Structure formats: structure tokens, C-alpha cells
Amino acid sequence: MTTMISATAANDIFQRRESQVRSYCRSFPAIFAGARGPWLIDEDGREYLDFLCVAGAANYGHNDPPIKAAVVEYLATDGPIASLDLHTSAKQAFLRSFENRILAPRGLDHRVQFTGPTGTNAVEAALKLARKVTGRSTILAFTNGYHGMSLGALAATGNALARSGAGIPLGYTSFAAFDGYGGRDDSLADLVRRLDDPSSGLDLPAAAIVETVQGEGGCNAASWDWLRGLAEILRQRGILLIIDDVQAGCGRTGTFFSFEPAGITPDFIVLSKSIGGLGLPMSLLLMRPELDLWQPGEHNGTFRGNNLAFVAAQAALEHYWRDGAFAAGVQARGDIVRARLERIAARYPSLAYTGRGLLAGLRCQDPSRAAAISRAAWGLQLIIERCGPRDEVVKTMPPLNIPISALHDGLDRLERAIAAV
Ligand SMILES: Cc1ncc(COP(=O)(O)O)c(C=O)c1O
């Protein structure tokens, strides 16, 4: 009781002063003062296992020592912190590492655009450039897709609550069924029919924007065949392919880019969240070189030069992506999560595994069950969020380098939470 009263009093300034728009803090109402690896620590020293990881912006865990050391060292040198799009040593080093560790080994010759530091701004850049390059206005998006909260990205987002915040009609977007939507497997055939029928009402889109695993939309994973099929349908019709890898990329599903196993080459790739290494804001739009038709300054932004993020990102690439060992570790952890969640689902028939790698979860037939599980997990000091159209999926997003014992610890807590509800 004493703890509850003091927590309420301590939270008072947030309730009085912070906008109603706040959301995560309502589910996890502690005041966090420390963060190390997979742990968040509140002001009273209580430790919580973090299976939310800043929605994927802390893929290497909190304050990962080699990344933090690089940032601390850089701060001590009085290097530039913010630099618009000026050339800096930190940016040069990042670009070299990104080329050497990520792009060249994968045979990608994409150019790199540093956008404003949010995922949604990089999505906006992709949509704008696709429209400019093709001269067409419509974007093809997919059911349950999530691309951000600014108006262009929001127009390509399915979620009704998010869309209702726009306050104006969200246009120039058509929606098609994502792989498996509604339990059906004919989404690509339907798309082809509508694209090729001059009377279907579907304008030829400039681009299609798609996630390989829909992170907010319910951990829905597209099959490799579906992605290959989609890429081919688009290629044949001159429609550009934008892979939104903001959440599924940077290793989360077991490879640096989530689409790698499909063997496709997107025209545009959007990266954000943990590309900045330590949770520092940074977003990128990668584009095939011939699509780089921007005029200088045509998609500008003050905070495109976050040098601390460049330093952290470079440290992360050099530390974790020099060879395949880190990705293999993510895949092994993903296998553990899958095996354990499937075992739980076998015991509780109203639950089902969904997702890929470390972007996976349990779909609950009853959304209120998912809410109760997340609440019970919080009581066990496990931070675990929900996603999906009705928040019906309990979503596991641990750090990619979480020690195996901590991973099992978190999954044990989740299992106890499920048993409790
Ligand atoms: C797939 C995807 N795209 C875009 C965004 C938007 O990123 P941000 O919240 O940084 O604007 C998100 C955020 O969760 C996302 O998951």
C-alpha cells in the first residue's frame, strides 16, 4: 500500500503536466532511472526484464558497453554533435562501415539518404521520392501495415485509431490484403486481378510499401514466396517496392535486412529504430542509385546529422556485423522463443504463435486475455507489450544479444503470467 501511494505521488507531475497522448507509461507505470542490457531499473532499484526494447530501438540492449564506450569517447573529443548534412568524420566512418559491413557483402549498391530522425520521416521520404520518380500519386499499402504517424505514412497505415488522429481525409493510398489476411491465401492473385483489370478502380500505384513482418499489425510474417511473388508483380508493372524495415530490420528477424532470405532487391529500404545503435535517433532511406532524383534540399530536416548516432551505429556495425555470428545468435534465440511459445500454445488452445525471429508473439483469441497477460507480466517485473488490430498479440521483443538465461527467465515469467490469467 505504501509503495502504491508513493508511486502515485511520484507520478503526479506526469499526470498533471504530460499530455493525454502518452501510452506505454500507462501500462508500465514505474519511473525508470537505470538501464543495462535487457534490464530497466526503477527509482526504487527494482529490476524489470525488458521485452519491449524501446519498440525495437534498443536491439543491442540498454547501454551496450562497446557502443556506449564509443559514444563516451566521442563526447570527450568535442566532436560535432549536430551537423545538418555537413560532412563529418563520424558520418564518414559510419558510411564506410555501412558500406563494408552491410551493403557490399549483400551486393546492394543503394544510395543512403539521412532523413529526419524518426521512422515516419524516412517513410515520408520514400513515398515522396517514389511519387516524384514515377509521376504517379497512389501508394499501395497492406492490411494491418504500420508506417508511422505523419500524414503520408499514416495514409498507408491500417489502424483505425491511428488514422482517426489525422483530422483530415487520408488519401492517395489503396490497400491490398497482406499475406494470409482473413485466413486466405489468394491475396497476390487478387492483387494481380485488380491491377490488370482496367475497371477495378485501382489506379496504377507509384510504389507498394510493405513490412516483411508487421510489427505493430500483429507480428504477421509474410512468407518468402509471397514476398518474391509481390516483388515480381510490382517489377512487371513498373511499381516501385518499398520495404519498411523500421521494425523488422537491423537484425530483429535474424538477418540484417529482414527480406534477405526472400532474395529480393527492394527499390527503397527504410531503416530506423536501432540503426542508431544505442537508441539514438537516426533514420535512413536506401534507394537504388537511378532513383536518387532528389534536388538538393528537397527533403530537408535539421536533425539529419546526429553524430552521436553515427558513432553508436558505426560501433554497433563493427562490433556485431563483421561476420555471421551475431545473426546466428539472433536466429538461435528466435528458435528458443518459437519453441517455448509453441509449447505454451499447445497447452492453451486459444493462443497461437505468430511472427519471425525475435519479432514474435502469442495471438490470443480474446484481446482482453492479452491485456491481462501483459498486466500480470508487469506484476512479475516483465515488460511485454501488445500489438495487432485489437491489441490481441502479446509481443516478445527482447534485445538481440540477450543472455540465454535472461531470455528463459523472461519466457518463464511470461508463462507464469499466462497461467495466472
Ligand atoms: C514498420 C514501421 N514503420 C514506421 C514506423 C514509424 O517509426 P517512428 O515511430 O520512429 O516514427 C514504425 C514504428 O513503430 C514501424 O514499426
Task: Label residues 71-93 b or e (16+ Cβ within 10 Å = b).
Answer: beebeeeebbeebeeeebebbeb
- Supply the mean pLDDT for the chain: 96
- The beta-strand segments (E) located in 171-262 are 173-176, 207-210, 213-214, 220-221, 240-244
Which ligand 1 atom sits closest to the C-alpha of 247? 16
Tell me what the mean pLDDT of segment 339-365 comes to: 98
Cα 206 to the center of its chain, rounded Å: 23
Tell me what the mean pLDDT of segment 19-30 comes to: 96
CA of 246 to the centre of ligand 1 (A): 6
SS3 state at 98: helix
Q: Judge whether 330 and 402 are in contact, CB under 8 Å.
A: no
Instruction: Choose the residue to mutate in 53, 144, 247 for probing ligand 1, maximizing ligand atoms within 8 Å of C-beta.
Output: 247
SS3 state at 247: coil
Sign of CA dihedral 321, 52, 112, 211: positive
Question: pLDDT digit string (tens) for 72-106?
Answer: 999 999 999 999 999 999 999 999 999 999 999 99
Name the residue at shortest CA distance from atom 13 of ligand 1: 148
CA of 1 to the centre of ligand 1 (A): 38
DSSP 342-380: HHHHHH-TTEEEEEETTEEEEEESSHHHHHHHHHHHHHT
> Between the CA of residue 408 and those of 105, 226, 230, 244, 411, what are the distances in Å?
33, 32, 37, 30, 5
Give the three cell numbers for residue 44. Answer: 526504487
Up-side HSE of residue 380: CA atoms within 13 Å toward CB? 22
Q: Judge whether 160 and 204 are in contact, CB under 8 Å.
A: no
Name the residue at shortest CA distance from atom 16 of ligand 1: 247
CA of 65 to the centre of ligand 1 (A): 26
Across the strands, what pairs with 112? 286
Q: Judge whether 374 and 52 are in contact, CB under 8 Å.
A: no
Give the three cell numbers for residue 413. Answer: 515469467
The amino acid occupying position 186 is D
Instruction: Choose the residue to mutate in 23, 52, 120, 213 for probing ligand 1, maximizing ligand atoms within 8 Å of C-beta.
Output: 120
pLDDT of residue 114 exceeding 60, the answer is yes
- Identify the pLDDT of residue 7: 53
- Identify the pLDDT of residue 4: 46
SS3 state at 396: strand
Considering only CA atoms, which of 6, 11, 54 is closest in space to residue 29?
Answer: 11
Question: pLDDT digit string (tens) for 265-302?
Answer: 999 999 999 999 999 999 999 999 999 999 999 999 99
CA of 170 to the centre of ligand 1 (A): 18
**CA-CA distance, 26 to 387, in Å (whole number)?**
15
pLDDT tier for residue 239 given thresholds of 50, 70 and 90 = very high
CA of 273 to the centre of ligand 1 (A): 8
CA of 141 to the centre of ligand 1 (A): 15
CA of 247 to the centre of ligand 1 (A): 7
Tell me what the mean pLDDT of segment 242-252 comes to: 98
pLDDT tier for residue 8 given thresholds of 50, 70 and 90 = low
- Identify the pLDDT of residue 1: 37
**CA-CA distance, 67 to 149, in Å (whole number)?**
29
Which ligand 1 atom sits closest to the C-alpha of 150? 11
Q: Judge whether 56 and 355 are in contact, CB under 8 Å.
A: no
Question: Domains in the chain, ordered, with CATH?
Answer: 2-63+324-420 (3.90.1150.10), 67-320 (3.40.640.10)
> Between the CA of residue 311 and those of 90, 101, 281, 318, 325, what are the distances in Å?
6, 15, 12, 11, 22
Residues with CB under 6 A from ligand 1: 55, 118-120, 123, 146-148, 211, 215-216, 244, 246-247, 272
At residue 327, φ and ψ (nearest 5 deg) are: -60, -40
pTM of the model: 0.97
CA of 7 to the centre of ligand 1 (A): 31
DSSP 202: -
The amino acid occupying position 137 is S
Cell 517514389 sits on residue? 130
In the chain, pLDDT over 70 holds for what percent of residues?
97
DSSP 66-90: HHHHHHHHHHHTT--SB-TT---HH
> Between the CA of residue 35 and those of 38, 52, 73, 350, what are the distances in Å?
8, 13, 20, 35
SS3 state at 134: helix
- Identify the pLDDT of residue 369: 98
Question: pLDDT digit string (tens) for 295-328?
Answer: 999 999 999 999 999 999 999 999 999 999 999 9
DSSP 192: H
- Identify the pLDDT of residue 2: 39
Which ligand 1 atom sits closest to the C-alpha of 149? 11
pLDDT of residue 371 exceeding 90, the answer is yes
In the chain, pLDDT over 90 holds for what percent of residues?
97
Which ligand 1 atom sits closest to the C-alpha of 121? 11
- Identify the pLDDT of residue 283: 98
Across the strands, what pairs with 173? 139
Sign of CA dihedral 295, 301, 302, 308: negative
pLDDT of residue 10 exceeding 90, the answer is no
